[in-house]
A and B are shown apart, each in its own frame.
Chain A
Amino acid sequence: GDSVTQMEGPVTLSEEAFLTINCTYTATGYPSLFWYVQYPGEGLQLLLKATKADDKGSNKGFEATYRKETTSFHLEKGSVQVSDSAVYFCALTEAAGNKLTFGGGTRVLVKP
C-alpha cells in the first residue's frame, strides 16, 4: 500500500536558520503530494501541494518540489521565524481512493 516517511523530530532551530524536512513516499500509481501544518492547539492547514513531477509548491516562504525519480517531496524554508513552530505533515493522495495518507509528522521548534 501507499506510505509516507518523514524525518522524525523534534527539529530545533534558531530564528533565521534554514529548514529542511525530508519526505519520501511509496505509491503504486502517480500521487498528488501535500504538506500540511498544525500549529499548537489548532487544526490542519494546507501549506502547499504539487500534483505532477517537477512541480514546485510554495506558500509563506516554504517550498517543496515533486521529485518522481527519488520519490521525494522535501520541505524547505530559507529563514524560519518563531511563528513557524508547528508540526508539519507530508501526505499523498492516489487515484485508487480519494484519501490522504500521512507521514508521522515532524515537530519544528524555532527559538528566538
Chain B
Amino acid sequence: DTAVSQTPKYLVTQMGNDKSIKCEQNLGHDTMYWYKQDSKKFLKIMFSYNNKELIINETVPNRFSPKSPDKAHLNLHINSLELGDSAVYFCASSQSGFRNTIYFGEGSWLTVV
C-alpha cells in the first residue's frame, strides 16, 4: 500500500503546454504539500494545504495552481510550461503539528522540451 502516491511519475512535454500532477495520500493526514527539487537536488516548498485550505504559498509563479478537492488529494496544475519548470515535484503529507513527520511520494519527473 503506497502511503503517498503521485501520478504521473515521468512527464515529458513541450514548452507552452498545460499539465497536471495528481497526488493522493491514504495516511489520514490533514496536511498536504508540494515541494520542488531542482537539477542541483535543492528542495523547496511550494504550497501547503491543511484541510483543503491553502496555508503556505511560497514565491511561486501564478502559472502554478494547486487544488485540493478533499484532504486526501492535492493536485498541481501548471500552465504555459517553461524550460525552467523542468524538475522533480514531490507531493507530501503529514498530520498538522510541526513535530510530526512529513511523508513524501516518489516524485514526478517533469521535463519540458
Give the shortest distance, in Å, between B12 (CB) and chain A (any CB): 16
User: Cα distance A36–B107 when bound, in Å?
Assistant: 14
Interface membership of B56, Cβ < 8 A: yes
Give the shortest distance, in Å, between A34 (CB) and chain B (any CB): 7
The interface residues of chain A lying within 8 Å CB-to-CB of B50 are: 98
User: Total number of A-B contacts with CB less than 8 angstroms?
Assistant: 64
User: B101 near A46 (CB under 8 angstroms)?
Assistant: yes
Interface membership of A94, Cβ < 8 A: yes
Give the shortest distance, in Å, between A4 (CB) and chain B (any CB): 10
Total interface residues on A, using CB and 8 Å?
Answer: 25
Which residue of A has the minimal Cβ distance to B97? A98
The interface residues of chain B lying within 8 Å CB-to-CB of A99 are: 33, 45, 48, 56
Q: Mark B69-113, 1 if CB is under 8 A from A, else 0.
A: 000000000000000000000101010111111111111000000
Total interface residues on B, using CB and 8 Å?
Answer: 28
Contact of B94 among A45, A98, A102, A104 (CB under 8 A): A98
- Please give the residue numbers on chain A whose beta carbons come within 8 Å of chain B beta carbons, in ascending order: 31-32, 34, 36, 38, 42-46, 49, 51, 87, 89, 93-95, 97-100, 102, 104-105, 107
29 contacts between A and B (CB under 8 A): A31-B98, A32-B98, A34-B102, A38-B41, A42-B106, A42-B107, A43-B90, A43-B104, A43-B106, A44-B92, A44-B107, A45-B104, A49-B101, A51-B99, A87-B41, A93-B98, A93-B102, A94-B98, A97-B48, A97-B56, A98-B56, A98-B94, A98-B98, A99-B33, A99-B56, A100-B35, A102-B42, A104-B41, A107-B41
